[in-house]
Structure 1
Amino acid sequence: MARRVSIKDVAERAGVSWKTVSNVVNERPVVRPETRERVLAAIEELGYVPNQVGRELRGGPTGSLALVVPELQNPYFARLAERMQAAARARGRTVSVEVSLHSAATERAHISGRSSRPVDAVVISPSALTAEDLRDRTSGPPVVLLGEMLLAAPDIVHVAIDNVASAAEVVRHLVAAGHRRLLFLGADEGRRSTGADRLVGLRLASTEAGLDEDPALIRHVSDWTREGGRDEIAAALAEGLDFDAVVAGNDLLAIGALIALLDAGRRVPEDVAVVGWDDLVEAAWTRPALTTVAPDLDALVAAALDAALAAPAEREGVERVIAHRLVERGTTR
């Protein structure tokens, strides 16, 4: 029988002390980011599972779930965490909110059961995971994906709105208002993702409306933040691009785009319309107020909990589509 990997083995592989490994495992904020990444990589490579986790897992269900999100600076994830906590509490469960900070090693640790807190299931909105990470895992709790679709293993449920259909609805709304030159902010191609699906919907509805595609209007943004939206639209304006609407991958990008347009003296929506996704609270407080696609967040949380708490025989890797609606406000005519 193979010897169990110890904390000292991880420390030796990572070139740190066992106390540093303990600090990483217990998520104490005293370890430098580069050291934390090195330790997490060693944990993953060796397949180390902390003894405490092993003991508690052998003790049966914990009554606790983990919600793993990439960050809490995006208000969408903060609101999601609150709704998940409240809905789980109503079912007699607790939820630990874990922040991956866009670390692939941290996200892999959670889906493989190598986090410091044992849980009955993991609900994760991934930002760094790959489809291979999901298919290659050999152990770990049940996993439910939110948002990104990674073409995962057959036992993993994916819960999201219909990104293709919602993007097509946005395009039809803009075309009906007379817009013909649509700039898409947040494009993603080459893999299945939120940005890629929304781009598919935009292209389908644009073709349906007889709009010509200009590759210069398909804009990739590395960070879906206010700053990312502002900077990309400022660059597009500096290039002299002709566009009369911005379709932004989320509300943060849309708010940044709105700021860049107003700073440049463009009237919204008379000169350029703007639409986002998520219906953040601040979307109703921008001036003009932001038109956005609102997911049914309560339905999304309920579907995620249903899948996470289902019996193994009832857990099938399927896509659960949640309703959405287009909230029309002042940034579109």
Structure 2
Amino acid sequence: MMAAVTVADVATGPAVGLLPLLSLGPAFAPLVGGPRRTVWIGVIALVLTAGLGVYDDLIDGVRGYVSIASVVGVTGAGLVAVSMRRQREAELASVRSIAEAAQQVLLKPVPKLAGQLRAAVRYMSAVAEARIGGDLYEVVAAPQGVRVIVGDVQGKGLDAVETAALVLGAFREAALDERDLLGVGRRLARSADRQLEGEKFVTAILAEVRDREVTFLNYGHPAPLLLRADGSAALPEPAAYALPLGLGAHGASAPEPFRTDFLPGDQLLLYTDGITEARDDDGRFYPLPERAHLLKDSDPESALETLRQDLIQHVGGPLQDDAAMLLLRYR
């Protein structure tokens, strides 16, 4: 930029008055560098201003003094801007580290092995700066079987964290205590109704795997994707969906459990609507059932990563909603 101004000034002479434009160099320097770079750019701009002032015979005039003062002033302002930018970057890094710590406490790593199941998870927050959102998941190896929850809290970002913590805390306790999955669901619904008071809600799906069978309770959540060992895929759905958790004040009835076989070699993908409602540039939703073949990798983590990359490619940019995927494989 300063080189272009220098060439233009030499070509046009003193009549146009381009000297003050040399201050654009130190004005933009703080955006891409630190204080040392800003000072060096300022020094170069000052040398060019003085040299062109002598060449144009303006160094002893008002225009020459104003041009030099502009470069010095803008360089000083740039140093202040660099200091403020670095302070804000440090504050953002601190917020990110706190958010990541909160995420690790809230969403603990799922066990890679739970009974006869292998588990893997991928989580993507719509709030990239905080890296935390309102989707939730958990896998509990209880004496009655492996119990799982995947849910989506109304809203996103830090506002949804408290609600997700309440639901996860209730599920972790109930999953170990209750005799059957229906008892887990009732206890979870009571806790959500009592603490959310109808102001927020959580769509969720609960699953229990035991004796080569999986049982579901669906609280207004997207149907899971069941992949058979022979390559076929299905979306098990209840006869009627129940209202989300937290809406018990509206007279919501408990969901009816529904069951299907879950045999060696089968896979079960539980996810939130941030996956299926992700749109491409033409407004088309992500066709999850058509992408089931992407989960064929022998490693569940690699399989989910392949699916995540395909989702990002479909959207062509960052997701607009939180998204979580939990994959269970019958070993």
TM norm structure 1: 0.22
Larger % of helix: which? Answer: 2
| TM-score normalized with structure 2 length | 0.22
Q: Which has the larger radius of gyration?
A: 2
